[in-house]
Amino acid sequence: MKVLFLLIGIGSYYFTLAYPLPEKPSLYQPVFTYPPDFGKEYLESLANLAQVQQEKDSLRWQILWDWGYYTHSRNLNESLRIIQKGLLETQEAGDKRWEGRFQLIAGAILLRMDETEQAELLLQAALKKIDPQDRWLAYTNLGYVYERRGDLSSAFEWAGKTLELGMRSNHRKAQAMAYSDLSYLLWKQGNYLEGLEFGLKSLHLFESWGIPDMDYDFTLYVVGNNLMALDRLDEAEKYFSESIAVGERFGFYNNLSDVYMSLASLYIRTDKLDQAENCAANALKYAGLLENSFMQMRSFLALGEVSFSKNEWQAAENYLLQSIAKAGTDLGDHFFSSQAYQRLSEVYEALGKNQQALAAFKMYHDLNQTIFNEKAEQKMAGLKSELALSQKNNTIKEQALILTKQEKQVTFWIVGTSLMLVFSLIMFRGYRVIRKKNKLLEDQNEEKTYLVRETHHRIKNNLQVVCSLLSLQSERIQDPDLQRIMLDSQNRVQSMGLVHQTLYQGKDLAYLEMKDYFTKLSRDIIHSFGVDGTAELHCDMEEMSLDIITAIPIGLIVNELITNSLKYAFPGKKQGNLTIHLEREGNELILDYLDDGIGFNEKETAFSLGFGGQLIQLLTSQLNGRMSKLPHEGTYFRFVFCPDAYQTALT
């Protein structure tokens, strides 16, 4: 009754822990629901989150629930205060589900404080409010209530309910907990082989779950106990060491106290009494931190066992009497109380206190009968039969599911294969149709390419005929001025013909490579003027391709410029240099033309007033360009064209 007032009403409790606050409590994920990436400091983090998340909602209650539940592994009174805070908040908010969850944990904590009646009331109340998926935890703790009272037959029943629920809902954690509890109960009854079998099943389920939580840690301890009872001491020590490692990582003081007691017993059996005494002292230390009288009772029992093994009878008597005193008048757990009385009777016998020895032995016998009785054995036998039947039924169901799944897979593969076959036939037919169409398009493209190439060839031939006619006509003209006009016209026609010749001889019928074109054009014009070896062209530019619509006007402009240079730029000079440079800057084409002749005077030169100059201006305007004359020792013209704008206008 010492903590009943906490359950009826609680004034107010404020958390004043001075830990750094987390930035985003909304990102909280319940601890031990994922492989942990934290250590024993996780309780401090939960305290931080409880301070930050003050809004009374499911997020805050989940934080309080986890904080309170896992704090019971460090200090029972502190754990109960945290859970009571959550219970009060949920009652005020009228949230029955969360109220039930807090009642469940409050019951679990009170159980560990030896308040079994209040614990059972809270657990039964919680069962009516919590979700079905949480009932396994209530069943587990109700089993602990009866186990603590020494009613192992009822404890077996609750463990069986937990296992049945876990199997029905395929809940791995519930199954693992049930097998762990059955292993512990069988160990208490002395059925160590079966206890070991269930314990190993539990560990297998925990390990497949992949989260080393407090219950996994406890199961390592239980398996170690069964192995030690079977005299497999090396294996037992290995499991105890693993349990200690997990307990120290996360600060599970309850499990550390348990396992140090068992390790003390193991060292007693291997005659390592000093190590045994250290382990028993560690067990008592952690039990004191927990403020758990049941764990303290067992720790004093362990110290009494060590003193008994050392033949220190007086120390053994003191420790054993302290153990019995901690158990209380109702004797608490009959299993460990019976062990204390058994060892005390032997101590009294060694001290020559025969009457006390007899009384202690009688207490041991009476308590032992409550554990090893026919009713408990019958219930255990019935439970084993039910488990065996349940496992057989589960095996049959699993096999039926496998057969159904296999039948579905066969049907799926048949249907899938048929669909794939039909799809493949459709795809093959489509491929053949597409291939025929592509072949037809290729033939048409080849035919069109041939026609375009032939067209360029014929245009070039026709222009060549025109050049020949102009050449024949010029031979019959006596006037030198007319002859020059005819030669200029001949060069212009030849310039256009060279474009078409280059196109039909090249790989690309739509675009002309300008550097090669300028080189051939200048060579033909120089040859027509008969100044081979006197005038030399320098085509200072990168390779560049232009479409025919742009290339022909630029070619005619360059033709006029070269013609003009050969006519006027080099009077009396034996050697002249012509330079052409074409480049693209953004959407513009820049053409530079230079010669090192005598220079150009617009007022004195017929070029600026004649047909050639007019033609250049017309072609420049056609390409949406502009022409400028730049300072130079000879002649330097710069043209800036915008062919894209010109082609857009044409479109």
Rounded Cα–Cα distance for residues 263 and 286 (Å): 14
* Helix locations, 291-373, DSSP H: 293-309, 313-327, 334-351, 354-371
Mean pLDDT of the chain: 80
Rounded Cα–Cα distance for residues 545 and 542 (Å): 10
Structural domains in the chain, CATH included, are: 1-16+42-130 (1.25.40), 252-378 (1.25.40.10), 512-650 (3.30.565.10)
Give the pLDDT confidence of 467-514 residue by residue, as tens digits: 666 666 666 777 776 766 776 676 667 666 666 666 556 666 678 788
Q: Is the pLDDT of residue 360 over 50?
A: yes
Out of 71-80, 91-100, 155-164, 598-607, pick the least confident: 598-607
Burial (0-12, 13-18, 19+ Cβ within 10 Å), 278: middle
Q: Which pLDDT score, from 0 to 100, does residue 54 have?
A: 80
Q: Which pLDDT score, from 0 to 100, does residue 348 have?
A: 81
Q: pLDDT tier at 646 (50, 70, 90 boundaries)?
A: low
Residue 557 CB partners (closer than 8 Å, separation 6+): 591, 616, 619, 620, 639
Q: At what angle do helices 253-269 and 273-290 cross, to 10 degrees?
A: 160
Q: pLDDT tier at 335 (50, 70, 90 boundaries)?
A: confident
Picking from 238, 308, 287, the residue whose alpha carbon sits closest to that of residue 266 is 238
Rounded Cα–Cα distance for residues 570 and 157 (Å): 121
Out of 80-94, 123-137, 182-196, 543-557, pick the least confident: 543-557
Neighbours of 472 (CB within 10 A): 10
The whole-model pTM stands at 0.56
Q: Go through the chain and tell me how many residues it has.
A: 651
Q: pLDDT tier at 227 (50, 70, 90 boundaries)?
A: very high
- Give the highest mean pLDDT range of 321-325, 555-559, 579-583: 579-583
Give the pLDDT confidence of 578-603 residue by residue, as tens digits: 899 999 998 899 999 999 888 766 55
**3-state DSSP assignment of residue 572:** coil
